[in-house]
Structure 1
Amino acid sequence: MMSGNQSDKTWYGPWTERITELLPEVWNTLIVVADSAFVTEENLNTYEKRWFISRMPETYRLCEALKDRAFADESRWIEVGSVAQEGKEAASYRIQGFEDELYGRTYRFVVVESSALDQRKAKRLEKLVAEEAQAIEKAVAQQERLSYHCEADAKVALEDWRRRHNRWGFHHVTGQVVQERTVKRRVGRPRKTDPDQGNVEVVRWRVTFTVEPDTEAIEQRRRRDSTFVLISNVPRTRRADDAELLRDYKGQIEVENLFRALKQPYFVHGIFVKTPKRVLALAYVFLLGLLVYAIIQHRVRQGMRQDQQTALAIAGAKFRSPTTRTLLKEFDGLTHVIVRLPDGTVTHHLQGLTETGIQILRWIRIRTDNLLMGASLPPAESG
């Protein structure tokens, strides 16, 4: 058991050695899927002879270099489609595979572009575009307030402004020199012989700007932000296709969703045991329960695929990939009836079991013939 304050980058080594001791024959045949905290020189050394798939941290220069190589050749992208999810909202992916060195070893790298941009990155990009627009508005307003006596001076000012403001990444800023003619009245009373009655025309030159969003640059940044890089040492004899590495990596969402269920406050808000040993024992009980939870979910989804059933109707809604939590809702109104016969025989029956419930029990391989309520038995009283 490790401290919750331990860095994610440091626990992979001890954890790996411990699992290797417990499962020596199995562990080294598995493919470990890890997040970006895994990628350190020490961890890669530990996994020199073990297989892994991980995500490259954005802080590595190699990560950005691989993205540059991928976007430099649009013809090399391979369409993969959706991977871990189904339906209209599922993200689709395209990939490019590379081989390169990191810490003196050669690894497989897969640059992955997703059609869906992470909400945090989308908000960050929106903020960057808005902040740049505000900066341009301020710089333009300062320059447009100035005027010049001749066109040449205005053109020099425009070129100087362009040199000082050439960093815009998400907007097109176009400047032009325009002439302004205004009529002003001379100071004092005009002469009677003055045909202009004291009015004089003043010619000045100004710099004006047109600002438009650079939609192509914004889209390129959006694409780059929705792109990530995978690193792996899995040989092509085990995973020949780079798309298989992506599927393995995205498959971890199933495990994460399971542990998300376990982390609900209902389970871990307060653990009233007195020693770390008992906390650890309780954690093992939770994990065993989670294992059953996972088996139920897996078997139902597998049964749906085998029976070619695209969706399951539960509580008035349809689910394409139901979780165990959703499946259990089908049994909320169920009544467990225990019948004791005069000869001492005890039978158990389920009252209120629907066709969907029967189908779910069949998929998870629980017999229902001895659980269904007999027609001759009266309904159980509530409460």
Structure 2
Amino acid sequence: MAQPIYSGKGRPKKGQPSERIDYQLTGLAVTCLDKVATAKEQAGIFILPTNDLSDHLDMAGLLATYKSQQAVERGFRFLKSPEFLTSSLFLKKPERIEALLMVMTCSLMIYAALEHRIRQSLRQEALSFPDMRKKPSQNPTARWVFLCFSGIHELSVGDEHS
């Protein structure tokens, strides 16, 4: 639809030529619902390759196994963090670096086992532990439990504990 545009304010004078002509387009946007549904289905798809050719692991089991690796990766993320400070400044020999990584891997295994035991006990006893926002949780991290108990000290006087 053509719309003449005049210079100046207000209504144009009779016979005044327009400065330019603007065009206004009107229409209706439509989409193919079948293509939208296909696109939505493909948006949540990701490829999960495996070399497990056995029949005992179906797709749901494979996805669950893949997602369970996140807990292991979270533990090893600690080894890469700057807090750990594994630098050639401290350890120069490959044997010592390997020994330190073995100790840290064993420590992570103990940490994961402790965390599992805490969570399992909370579920069995139907108890909860307050999280960082003071809300009850049955899945606290061992680090958070350690932080909550960090202010507790033991005083020993003689053979008695108090």
TM-score, normalization: structure 1?
0.32
Alpha-carbon distance, 1:201 to partner: 8.7
2:66 to 249, 252, 268: 249
Which consecutive residues of structure 2, in runs of 5 or more, have no partner in the other structure? 7-13
Residues 1:227 and 2:79 are matched in the alignment: no
1:320 CA drift (Å): 3.4
> Which structure has more strand as a fraction of its residues?
1
- Of 285, 295, 313, 2:103 maps to 285
Residue in 1 that maps onto 2:15 = 199
Cα distance in 2 for partners of 1:273, 1:308 equals 46
Partner deviation per Cα, 1:344-364 (whole Å, 9 max, x = no partner)? xxx6x4xxxxxxxxxxxxxxx
Give the alignment partner of residue 141 of structure 2, picking from 310, 323, 344. 323
* TM-aligned CA distance change 1:273 to 1:320, over 3 Å: same
- Structure with the larger RCO, 1 or 2 (CA within 8 Å, 6+ apart): 1
Matched residues, percent identical? Answer: 27
* Structure 2 counterpart SS, 1:256: helix
Contact 1:313-1:319 within 8 A present in 2 as well? yes
Deviations along 1:112-132, one digit per CA (max 9) or x if unpaired, are xxxxxxxxxxxxxxxxxxxxx
Corresponding residue SS for 1:265:
coil
| 1:286 shift after superposition | 1.0
Task: Tell me which of 91, 113, 121 is aligned to 1:273.
Answer: 91
Paired letter, 1:263: K
Q: May I ask how many residue pairs the two structures share in their alignment?
A: 149
Deviation at 1:333, TM superposition (A): 1.1
- For residues 136 and 32 of structure 2, the distance between their equivalents in structure 1, rounded to whole angstroms, comes to 39
Counterpart-to-counterpart distance in 1, 2:118 and 2:45: 33
SS in 2 for 1:335: coil
Equivalent pair of 2:3/2:23 in contact (CA under 8 Å): no
Instruction: Supply the distance in 2 between the matched residues of 1:255 and 1:331 (Cα, whole angstroms).
Output: 25
Please report how far the alpha carbon of residue 221 of structure 1 lies from its aligned counterpart in structure 2 after TM superposition: 4.3
User: Contact 2:129–2:140 at 8 Å: present in 1 too?
Assistant: yes
1:292 partner letter:
I
Does the C-alpha gap of structure 1 residues 183 and 220 become closer, same or farther in structure 2, counting only changes over 3 Å?
closer
Question: What is aligned with 2:9?
Answer: none
How far 1:326 sits from its partner (Å)?
Answer: 1.2
Can you give the 5+ residue segments of structure 1 that lack an aligned partner in the other structure? Answer: 1-177, 185-197, 342-346, 350-372, 374-383
Letter in 2 for 1:252: Q
Contact 1:314 1:329 in 2 (8 A): no
In structure 1, C-alpha distance between the alignment counterparts of 2:154 and 2:77, rounded to whole Å = 30
Report the CA distance between 1:213 and its aligned residue. 9.1
Alpha-carbon separation, structure 1, partners of 2:112 and 2:156: 29
Whether the 8 Å contact between 1:183 and 1:199 is mirrored in structure 2 is no
Partner of 2:150, secondary structure, is: coil
Aligned residues: CA RMSD:
3.8
Structure 1 runs of 4+ aligned residues shifted over 4 Å read: 181-184, 204-207, 209-223
Deviation at 1:255, TM superposition (A): 0.6
